[in-house]
Structure 1
Amino acid sequence: MSKLNRDVLYMIFEELQDNNNVLYTCLSVNKTWCELIIPILWKDPWKFLKRKKEKGKILFNVIFSHLSDESRNHLNQNLQINTYEKPSFDYISFCRHLNLNAIQWLINIIDEESDMKIIKNEVINLFINENTRFTHLYIPRQFDYQIHLIPGLKRCFSKIEFLSCNTCISDNTLIGLIEICKPIKELELFIEKYHNNPDIAKLIDSSKNLVNVKFEPNYFNYFNYSNKNESFYTLIENSLNKHADNVQCFKITEPPATKLFSSFVNLKRLELNGYARGTLWNCLDNVYLPYLQVLKASRVPLKVLISLIENTKGFLNEISIDYIFHDESNNKRIIQAICKKCPYLIYLKLLIKNSNIPELENLLINCRYLSGLCIVVSIYGEFDWDRLFLILTRSSPINLFKFKFNISPKIPIKVETLKSFFDNWRGRHPMSLRFFQTDEVKEKYIDLIEKYKIEGIVRNFKYLHRNPLEAFKWDN
């Protein structure tokens, strides 16, 4: 493998970019591998921090080692930092994600007593200059910096594609962002209840290539929909509406203040996270999104989701619906809508009521491309696991072998039932299996599952202690 073409090796390592442990192991194989992997690891070094102080201190020391001798000596008078030699690689030149949130956190954990402004200036100037190129930019909530005055700013961000910032951003910072962010394709806005900067609308207006937009409320606003800043939402939604034909992905956590959804005729991905309980989302009634491919909804009433699915043209391939009450009637209707309108469905996460298990079988028969199924079971009432597993073995399409089930102590799976499911699965593709459950349920199945892993019925298995954010991610 060490003799593979450099381009082929790079493609392999790119596929492993989220697995830092494997990449770290490969670093020491030889010089060629090291030269290929270092730029991949440093493309977005912040994602490996996970708010762990020890990792943060190591990363800051490496960053600090890139400073000039004069700057290092000046800062060392106030900071207690391990002195590193000049690095073998210009790591910062490989960085494509400039995460100022992470940098601010790094500075805070190094020395909270020092003059943060001096340190911040040195580090920012180290990253933003004519020798660096960034595609992704993350701005902290209380960031106040005249970035438009930094030499080389335009060249540094000439290839920018992604911006994440807070809507209470200062004028000093926003002036520079409006200037450099015209090429962005993705915009993530964290919206405050108060003190929003209305010139955010100018930032949206100036963007020429927006295809992916996320409106996220600040965390403090999740359960305060009644206090939503309607005038500010109207302002930014009107600006976004000018890009409606180009927008393909949209995420929002509160119903829009305008008829924004009606304009998204080319939308392919829609995420609705209804953090404010009891929100009706009537704005989705009769909305026509013909080319929708991905629908993720949390705490959104089934009635409007049924209407939304029925008003698509058959391109939906991924549906995740969670954290919403299902009565038997609407549960049946949404299964029927998916069955009828989603022939190319690949992934599905949905609560199934006991009485509607037969409807799920119709869905399995009609959605022949289904590959992953995540079944949520209500903790109230009964659930017939025997019947579910029977239809899964009888009617699952040939591509379906990835399953996730939530198991409650109130509605457990009998060991005999699970054994029968595995026995009946013989001759099919080995299944990837995940259980959401508590520790008190966990111990029941360990020996049985290990037995069927050895026999090749179960390919891999994992216990999940909570409902994962990525419903359709199956790690080996």
Structure 2
Amino acid sequence: MATKIPTEILIKILNNCQSTRDLYSSLLVNRIWCKVTIPILWELPLGQECWGDDKTLRKKALCIRTYISCMDTHARTLLIQNEFDLSSSSHQATFDYPSFAHKFIIGNLVNFISIYLQQIVSSDQDNYKNTITKPRILFLEIFKLIINRCKFVNSFEMTGVHIKNHFHYIDLIGSILELPGAPKVFEKLETFVSATIHDERMRPLYESLTLICDNILNMNLSFDLPFQEQFFAKFISVQKRLENLSIDANYYQDCNSLLLAIVNHKETLKSLHLKSVNFFHFEGKSFGQIISLQELYIENCYRLQKSDSLFFASSFTQLSSFYFHTFQEYPQEFIIKIFETANTKLRKIYLNSYTTDIFLAILNYCTNIIRLTLHNKRSGHVIPRFNNNFSELRRFSFESGVGINANELLCQMALPESLEIIKIRMGIFNADSLRKFFEGWCCKGEGRNKKFIVKRTEQARLFKLSDEHFKVIEEYGVQFNMEELYSK
């Protein structure tokens, strides 16, 4: 029966398989299933985030042994001349495993080499060779092997390498795209992630990427060196169809060129995540509209209260999701301008901090919202009262601020009938207040499709529901849950 499934359909099914255990089981079905599964499995060793205990990591590191088995005579001879014990690695592999490495996390190769060498090198051998020379040789030979056998790499992540522990690798990593054949393999790159490696010796890699790759869809960039900011601005600018961009500037002082590079993608960019970006030098008068952007995430960015930053906020006319998180200055005008510009197109909002004016702006502009999270009121308190225009709100998570009485909050809150889940952080409340709250939300016995989650405050950490509370909950049929104080 299994052999009757068209190969194209089988590939799609197995590509969506979330369990490696199931993939290993599919190897045993028949030859066709095995042939389809092997390429999927062998994208994972270097292309999937790797974690686990020592035993698990040692098992995953055995991919290095398999790659060695795929090497030609010249490469194997080089390893033997450098005192590698290849007795556990066969001279020939069943499949061309390096050709399946279309996704590449540089830290996986570095860490797997380190783990594998610990298993095959005896303690009486030269320590310098074991810790410096041999890892470098093996890294370069495996990377060359993949470049020679693989037709394309569509995902490349510069993560998992730490200068303190892997200092001797940095120059090799910086020059890998200078290897023969590397430009052709990387020209179809669609996802690029850069993090943890901040060293001047990485400059050749960045410069090569700018020349080679112009069709990237997803970028996740982190930097804290001047040359990286310059490179990333150019790298962003040359892309033709960038859709998802994340920037972590690590509080770097000048991000103006980086921000202005975003304008080149006003018709393709769908998601933008800015973290620790400083808007101090931002000149936004000619920024224009990013008409394609649907999701905007802003975390701990600086100087958003500048007048030029309002030009940035007024650029996102099609925004449907807005996430804002800060422990810094609070740019109220900037946030309100986001709401005013996106208006009824905005469907999801998360604010880790808000003011009364912010809540009023939501009521005024964002009437089509379906999910709203408001945490940590800046001062005073507010009782949410939604008018009849909010007919699509489904989920509401809320913290009222310091000083509000939980009974007062429940009695005066006005929620739309469309609301399915509400989560509130509040103190002690009585059964009568709970009843009034339910009366304004749903009819008796008809709350089975609604869920009310209460998250205790510090003052209510010992609060427990009484029989009267349970009676009201049962009467209205609402699903009720009281979370512990420190639960997420």
**Corresponding residue for residue 299 of structure 2:** 273
**Corresponding residue for residue 131 of structure 1:** 150
Q: Relative to 1, partners in 2 of residues 1:175 and 1:423: Cα closer, same or farther, differing over 3 Å?
A: closer
**Corresponding residue for residue 263 of structure 1:** 288
Residue type of the alignment partner of 1:229: Q
Residue type of the alignment partner of 2:365: K
Q: Relative to 1, partners in 2 of residues 1:284 and 1:129: Cα closer, same or farther, differing over 3 Å?
A: same
Which stretch of the first structure deviates more once superposed, 6-15 or 297-306? 6-15
**Corresponding residue for residue 396 of structure 2:** 373
**Corresponding residue for residue 216 of structure 1:** 248
Residue type of the alignment partner of 2:321: V
The CA deviation at 1:290 is 1.3
Q: Aligned pairs, how many? A: 434
Cα shift readout 1:340-359 (whole Å, capped 9, x = no counterpart) = 32233222211386953342
Cα shift readout 1:195-220 (whole Å, capped 9, x = no counterpart) = 646344432333222232222024xx
Query: Which structure 2 residues correspond to residues 14-163 of structure 1 after superposition, within 5 A?
Result: 17=18, 20=19, 23=22, 27=26, 30-31=29-30, 39-40=39-40, 42-45=42-45, 46-50=47-51, 52-67=53-68, 68=70, 83=88, 92-110=98-116, 111=118, 113-115=131-133, 116-140=135-159, 143-144=170-171, 145-163=174-192
- Indicate if the aligned counterparts of 2:26 and 2:33 stay in contact, CA closer than 8 A: yes
Cα shift readout 1:412-449 (whole Å, capped 9, x = no counterpart) = 5779988996997853454577776799959968x999
Q: Structure 1 residue 295 and structure 2 residue 322: aligned?
A: yes
Which stretch of the first structure deviates more once superposed, 298-307 or 108-117? 108-117
Which of the residues 217, 222, 226 maps onto 1:190? Answer: 222
Q: Relative to 1, partners in 2 of residues 1:22 and 1:416: Cα closer, same or farther, differing over 3 Å?
A: farther
1:284 aligned counterpart, secondary structure: helix
Residues of 2 paired with 1:406 and 1:302: CA distance? 23
Query: Which structure 2 residues correspond to residues 68-467 of structure 1 after superposition, within 5 A?
Result: 68=70, 83=88, 92-110=98-116, 111=118, 113-115=131-133, 116-140=135-159, 143-144=170-171, 145-165=174-194, 170-193=202-225, 196=228, 198-218=230-250, 221=251, 228-230=252-254, 233-253=255-275, 254-256=277-279, 257-260=281-284, 262-266=287-291, 267-274=293-300, 280=305, 282-285=307-310, 287-288=313-314, 289-299=316-326, 300-322=330-352, 324=353, 326=354, 330-331=355-356, 333-351=357-375, 356-359=382-385, 361-362=386-387, 365-378=388-401, 380-384=402-406, 387-388=409-410, 395-397=416-418, 400-406=419-425, 411=427, 426-428=445-447, 430=449, 441=461, 458=479, 465=486, 467=488
2:248 aligned counterpart, secondary structure: strand
- Indicate if the aligned counterparts of 1:320 and 1:349 stay in contact, CA closer than 8 A: yes
The CA deviation at 1:74 is 6.2
Residue type of the alignment partner of 2:395: G
Cα shift readout 1:357-392 (whole Å, capped 9, x = no counterpart) = 342x33xx43333333332454x3235268549958
Q: Relative to 1, partners in 2 of residues 1:258 and 1:47: Cα closer, same or farther, differing over 3 Å?
A: same
- Aligned-residue Cα RMSD (Å) equals 4.7
Runs (5+) with no aligned partner, structure 2: 119-129, 164-169
Which stretch of the first structure deviates more once superposed, 77-86 or 201-210? 77-86
Residues of 1 paired with 2:88 and 2:480: CA distance? 48
Q: Give the alignment's TM-score, normalised by structure 2.
A: 0.70
The CA deviation at 1:132 is 4.0
Residues of 1 paired with 2:234 and 2:273: CA distance? 20
Residue type of the alignment partner of 2:404: E
Residues of 2 paired with 1:89 and 1:442: CA distance? 62
Residues of 1 paired with 2:269 and 2:51: CA distance? 31
Residues of 2 paired with 1:48 and 1:401: CA distance? 35
Q: Give the alignment's TM-score, normalised by structure 1.
A: 0.71
- Indicate if the aligned counterparts of 1:268 and 1:292 stay in contact, CA closer than 8 A: yes
Q: Relative to 1, partners in 2 of residues 1:285 and 1:50: Cα closer, same or farther, differing over 3 Å?
A: same
2:334 aligned counterpart, secondary structure: helix
Residues of 1 paired with 2:452 and 2:43: CA distance? 33
Which stretch of the first structure deviates more once superposed, 243-252 or 455-464? 455-464
Which stretch of the first structure deviates more once superposed, 145-154 or 7-16? 7-16
Residues of 2 paired with 1:271 and 1:239: CA distance? 17
Q: Highest CA radius of gyration, 1 or 2?
A: 2
Residues of 1 paired with 2:394 and 2:432: CA distance? 26
The CA deviation at 1:182 is 1.0
Cα shift readout 1:91-123 (whole Å, capped 9, x = no counterpart) = 554443211133333334554725331122123
- Indicate if the aligned counterparts of 2:217 and 2:242 stay in contact, CA closer than 8 A: yes
Residue type of the alignment partner of 2:244: N
1:151 aligned counterpart, secondary structure: coil
1:296 aligned counterpart, secondary structure: strand
The CA deviation at 1:156 is 2.1
The CA deviation at 1:125 is 2.1
- Indicate if the aligned counterparts of 2:417 and 2:442 stay in contact, CA closer than 8 A: no
Residue type of the alignment partner of 1:101: G
Runs (5+) with no aligned partner, structure 1: 222-227, 468-476
Residues of 2 paired with 1:57 and 1:376: CA distance? 46
Residue type of the alignment partner of 1:265: I
1:66 aligned counterpart, secondary structure: helix
Q: Relative to 1, partners in 2 of residues 1:358 and 1:53: Cα closer, same or farther, differing over 3 Å?
A: same
Q: Relative to 1, partners in 2 of residues 1:376 and 1:441: Cα closer, same or farther, differing over 3 Å?
A: same
- Indicate if the aligned counterparts of 2:216 and 2:242 stay in contact, CA closer than 8 A: yes
